[in-house]
Amino acid sequence: MPVRVCPFTAEGIAEAASALRAGMPVAVPTETVYGLAADASSDAAIAAVYAAKGRPSFNPLIVHVRDLATAERLGEFGDRALALAQAHWPGPLTLVVPQRANNGIARLATAGLPTIALRVPAHPAMQALLAAVDRPLAAPSANRSGAISPTTLAHALQSLEGRVTLALDGGPCAIGLESTIVALTGGPPRLLRPGVVQIEDAVAPSGGGVEAPGQLLSHYAPAKPLRVDATSAEDDEWLIGFGAVPGDSTLSAGGDLIEAAACLFERLHDADAGLAQRIAVAPVPEHGIGRAINDRLRRAAV
Ligand code: TXA
Ligand code: MG
């Protein structure tokens, strides 16, 4: 699959914007590192990003927006979050805040969590793109899972070779280090990932050293007991089917793993909200994005 590189021109921005609106992932420049962006309101577009990165698990993604006003429509900013946003945006600071209800963000983008990570990037090409798309863009770093974050377009394309069809060229990243992540979800600010923006009073969570962000998350899990590899429902179970195993709902009747990833959190939330006391999920094949689906189901089952 040859990749098409759009220059940072009015035409290039328009082309990247229409691809994003059509649900395609696009490699994009930011001032920190290159990202693999997708329409944050589309579960299917986010699923395509996970598939391209080959991530074996679903971590919540950073949602990039044009400005603070847009961010405030998606998340709840207390005084401290507002002050930090005003001091550092646009720039390399990501704020994790409580999510607003019905904000239109795909559940897969936040991995089902009640919080959302928001950032207003400073790179002029990313700013122009956000204005043209006029939708929030979810973007993890544009590398294969397990590889380092790319600070040039060449690195991004090398890492994602054959897995991305469109990229926006914004030159090398000025900062070259991922954004600082601070959580403001109650209590003192917590430093989830250090970066060039220093927040003096942010505390490192869980007793001292800063851990990898993925390990700090309280991952979304349904409140009800969950059983995996179920081929039929037992008493008082809501069965989420897959492929040939029908259910009360299904991840994908046709056995499509990307479709399954896109609706996973929605199906779990629905099952949790329903009348049955327990949840069962049909077997999902352990390959491709199926590994990420199974990782999440296994965590929910313990
Ligand atoms: O500089 C950056 O932040 C780059 C550019 C592209 O913006 N993006 C980036 O994304 O580094 P990523 O996916 O590689 O790292 C985002 C991290 C995830 O590992 C996750 O732990 C954390 O942000 N995160 C996202 N949403 C969160 C949430 N609701 N609660 C806690 N952590 C969250
Ligand atoms: Mg990353």
Q: Ligand 1, atom 24: nearest CA belongs to which residue?
A: 60
Residues 76 and 167: their CA atoms lie apart, in Å, by 32
pLDDT at site 218: 53
The answer, yes or no, to whether any atom of ligand 1 lies below 6 A from the CB of 117, is yes
pLDDT at site 221: 80
DSSP string, 85-103: HHHH-SSSEEEEEEBPTT-
pLDDT at site 168: 98
Q: Give residue-wise pLDDT tens across range 144-198.
A: 988 889 999 999 999 999 999 999 999 999 998 999 999 999 888 999 998 899 8
User: Which ligand 1 atom is the nearest neighbour of the CA of 34?
Assistant: 6
User: Which ligand 1 atom is the nearest neighbour of the CA of 214?
Assistant: 21
Q: How far is CA 32 from CA 46, 51, 59, 150, 267, in A?
A: 21, 23, 19, 9, 34
Å from CA of 140 to ligand 2 middle: 6
User: Which ligand 1 atom is the nearest neighbour of the CA of 37?
Assistant: 6
Å from CA of 213 to ligand 2 middle: 10
Pocket test for ligand 1, best of 33, 36, 50, 61 (most atoms within 8 A of CB): 61
pLDDT at site 29: 98
- Can you tell me which residue has the tokens 């847009």? 70
The answer, yes or no, to whether any atom of ligand 1 lies below 6 A from the CB of 197, is no
pLDDT at site 202: 87
pTM: 0.90
pLDDT at site 46: 97
Q: How far is CA 107 from CA 11, 37, 239, in A?
A: 32, 16, 20
pLDDT at site 210: 42
pLDDT at site 301: 82
Q: Which residues of the chain have pLDDT under 70?
A: 1, 205-219
Å from CA of 62 to ligand 1 middle: 5
Å from CA of 44 to ligand 1 middle: 19
DSSP string, 217-237: ------SS-EE-S-SS--TTE
Helices (H), the chain: 10-21, 43-53, 68-74, 79-88, 124-133, 153-159, 213-216, 257-273, 290-301
